[in-house]
Structure 1
């Protein structure tokens, strides 16, 4: 999937969110507006009926003679002709005082309560709004029930037109909000598109570049800062990986070259059995060196995957140092070096791993100590950690090299190499073992002594 597809997807999602928000707003506002207008439209026929009745009320209640009733009939006829929406009925026990030819349905309706009511007539889709009023007898006129009704069809059509208009405007507003939302989203995502294009150019081995912080919105600036920080770590890891690969190739090439060279020389002509034995013995030493390098590399790879020390037992560090010194007794005797141990502490460790770290620390000290000198092993404990430090006399190491001494294949100079027993992974394994126990490593070099050690949690 290209970055354009991803950007379009985000823009479409934002546009959809804008559409949903706009739809919700238009629905809420439209519903409230329609409810208010519908309520006002519902009051219009009632207000018109009350206005009509107020005009006729005085004429209906002041006189009851037949001559006066004839004038009222004429006025009702005139009003009915002027406005076809208006209907009048007068229901009475005397047919001479009735109006509008009330049928059985009207007579039954007139018997209901006074006030505003809806009257549904057959064949009419909209009801009539009717005002029912009862008039007491006024000699010689009997009691009357006066009904004035208005057709609500016009008001119904108005309500329907309003509803259609609101729905149409809401639909148009939603479409506009969707289109404008998509346009705004595309504009808002433009800096992200620019960052994507810049990020695509950052690929090995060109990892030294960085994304520009300005001009960018604050949210993207935070992302770019985090991305650049990650890129720096990746760049450092990539550089270390390249150096590591080169060192591995160099370390493996030497014993392989020796194996091939010796074997080729041995095969150039016939040799004695004793000579072949010496060649095989020499090849075996080189193969052992290769196996050691490969085993160390596999161990470090396992540690890099987050492997932890699990078989922990509470152990005396002084006893473990003594056991390790017994194992290194011949090496110390050949080097004419003495080791002194000070202090002790119990700590939960995996013995096999810790002994391997101790062997590497002591071997490192022996390799850089002159005959007749003393290596000091110090064990100190406090509330948070237990420190085990191995100190040997020797030339001071420049401070710039100290942070790198526990890195793989790192050597200060050629004089600190040993093509036989040391292949540059010893201190890296010490660091890995410390991390597997939840600890750290440290190094100090001052006043003619060099100290390498580990801190383990209590």
Structure 2
């Protein structure tokens, strides 16, 4: 079983994780920029201080040692060290007590050294000092190498202070944005939570669902909310329909069984002649047959209501002719004449079995409600890409008050007459189920004492040529 996960929690964690990465990236970038800026400024300072050392170099006017320095004019910062070398590599001057590691010649450029546990930044550069000779009244260029070293501990301290500042600012910003994001995300995702809560409250015992307005306002959630509403509404109607059907079926079966029991009890009240027992058994057989017909109709209705998509094509003219031929003898026994007017190529999406059940129910109904000497007409034709099937009788008709209820299960306008004809009240419900499953429509027009016309409209389908 999969463990549940909160979409809200996951979204918040993802957003906060992304924000934290951005904060870390910003802090690292800012610190690197700070380090680079301070190092660049420090290097510029070293060059300036080395220039101040260069400015103190003077001409000694001694061919053996042409350079000299006035150390009193050199003012290095505390902890700094310097050294000046002539073109031949001889040491001209250096700061007193300077560690040899700081004033030892290296390659030109910047370098870093750890001396006595302290970090130093060292600049070695070649420079030219232009001097005026008093004896020649012409400038003289003296080339030297200058080393200048300065302690960098304060830079590390400043960078650590900057890092602490950036970290504090980032942390405060992260906490503030976290609170804002949590509130905003919960508000943005609230419609999903509300929709989920509504859906979770649906149960078989309480199939009620009303999509929250917040979900219907969102383009992304509206289709889901509408689909849930449609599906659960359909479920509620189906459950109500099932409850009604079970209740009606139980009532009908109980009534039929009670009739059989009463007939048996009537036979047992006293001794009867053989002829009376025979008549009583005939009544029992008739009542038993009615129970059997009722069960068969209920099973037929359940089978017809299976909403499998119809893939078979049937020419309704063929099952119409078959059913008329089958019921001709039954109609003649009741003194009813059957007329068939069916054109071919009336193909529609319905299996032959369902087509015969449909036509048999309609035609049987018409025969049972037609008076002796009347006729029942069956017409099947194609009109404007529609298969039109009509069954018309000239019987007692249906009252206007009963017409809206004729498709209801077990509905019978005249119960006593239905008992005489053997009707179960399921025939038209079966017919409507079959027609709905084929994507068609069924309508009934009736006038009391004139007759009834049942009209079916089904989409014309073209059979494949294969």
Classify the TM-score, shorter chain. 0.7 to 0.9
Deviations 1:329-365 (A, max 9, x none): 2221123222222232332643222211110111122
**What residue in structure 1 maps to residue 137 of structure 2?**
none
Aligned to 1:331: 330
Equivalent in the alignment of 2:43:
46
Q: What TM-score does the superposition give when structure 2 sets the normalisation length?
A: 0.74
For residues 410-425 of structure 1, the aligned pairs below 5 Å read 410-411=411-412, 417-418=418-419, 420-425=421-426
Q: SS of the residue aligned with 1:83?
A: coil
Task: Give distance in 2, aligned partners of 1:35 and 1:273.
Answer: 118
1:130 and 1:335 mapped to 2: Cα distance? Answer: 127
Distance 1:103 1:377 in 2: 125
Q: Would you say 1:90 and 2:88 are equivalent positions?
A: no
2:295 paired residue number? 294
Give the one of 426, 443, 456 matched to 1:453: 456
Partner of 2:154: 154
2:19 counterpart (22, 25, 39): 22
2:30 maps to 33
Distance 1:33 1:276, change over 3 A: farther
Answer whether contact 1:361 1:453 (CA < 8 A) is retained.
Answer: no
Q: 2:94 maps to what in 1?
A: 99
- Greater alpha carbon shift after TM alignment, 187-196 vs 233-242: 187-196
Given the superposition, is the C-alpha separation of residues 43 and 391 from structure 1 closer, same or farther in structure 2, using an over 3 Å criterion?
farther
Q: Is the 8 A contact 2:304 2:354 kept in 1?
A: no
Deviation per CA, 1:402-453: give whole Å up to 9, x if none: 56543433445658744653212212222333344x3323114167542232
Contact 2:293 2:424 in 1 (8 A): no
User: What is the distance in 1 between the residues matched to 2:279 and 2:416?
Assistant: 29
Which blocks of at least 5 consecutive residues in structure 1 are unaligned?
A: 1-5
Give the structure with the larger strand fraction.
2
- 2 CA distance for matches of 1:283 and 1:415? 17
Residue in structure 1 matched with residue 390 of structure 2 by the alignment: 389
List per-residue Cα deviations over 1:173-196 (Å, max 9, x = no partner).
Answer: 444444454455566677888888
Post-superposition Cα deviations, 1:17-39, rounded to whole Å, max 9, x if no partner, equal: 44234324423443443343333
Separation in 2 of the partners of 1:300 and 1:125?
98
Q: Distance in 1 between matches of 2:73 and 2:446?
A: 125
2:159 is the counterpart of 1:145: no
Equivalenced residue count is 438
- My pick for the range that moved more, 93-102 or 36-45, is 93-102
TM-score, scaled relative to structure 1: 0.75
Determine helix, strand or coil for the equivalent of 2:425.
coil
1:319 matched to 2:318: yes
Which residue, 126, 130, 140 being the options, matches 2:123?
A: 130
Alpha-carbon distance, 1:51 to partner? 2.9
Deviations 1:379-416 (A, max 9, x none): 22257442322222356757786565434334456587
Which aligned pairs between 1:268-417 and structure 2 lie closer than 5 A? 281-309=282-310, 312=312, 315-346=314-345, 347=347, 349-381=350-382, 384-393=385-394, 405-411=406-412, 417=418
Q: Distance in 2 between matches of 1:94 and 1:317?
A: 119
Task: State whether residues 339 and 378 of structure 2, in contact with CA within 8 Å, keep that contact through their aligned partners in structure 1.
Answer: yes
* SS of the residue 1:341 aligns to: strand
Q: Which range moved further: 119-128 or 211-220?
A: 211-220
Q: Given that residues 49 and 131 in structure 1 are in contact (C-alpha distance below 8 angstroms), is that contact kept between their aligned partners in structure 2?
A: no
1:69 paired with 2:68, answer yes
Bigger mean CA deviation after superposition, 184-193 or 34-43: 184-193
CA distance in 1, matches of 2:119, 2:304: 85
Partner of 2:464: none
**Root-mean-square deviation over aligned CA pairs:** 4.4
Contact 2:435 2:442 in 1 (8 A): no
Give secondary structure in 1 for the equivalent of 2:56: helix
Which digits, 9 at most, give the CA deviation of each residue in 1:197-225, with x for residues without a partner? 88899888887x88597799834995877
Q: Please give the alpha-carbon distance, in whole angstroms, between the structure 2 residues aligned to 1:26 and 1:64.
A: 61
Q: CA deviation at 1:372?
A: 2.7
Q: Is the 8 A contact 1:344 1:380 kept in 2?
A: yes
Contact 2:386/2:459 (8 A) holds in 1: yes
Equivalences for 1:170-319 in 2 at 5 Å?
Answer: 170-183=170-183, 218-219=217-218, 232-267=233-268, 281-309=282-310, 312=312, 315-319=314-318
Equivalent residue, structure 2, for 1:3: none
- Please report how far the alpha carbon of residue 244 of structure 1 lies from its aligned counterpart in structure 2 after TM superposition: 2.2
Structure 1 CA distance for aligned equivalents of residues 282 and 416 of structure 2: 28
Contact 2:112 2:119 survives alignment (8 Å): no
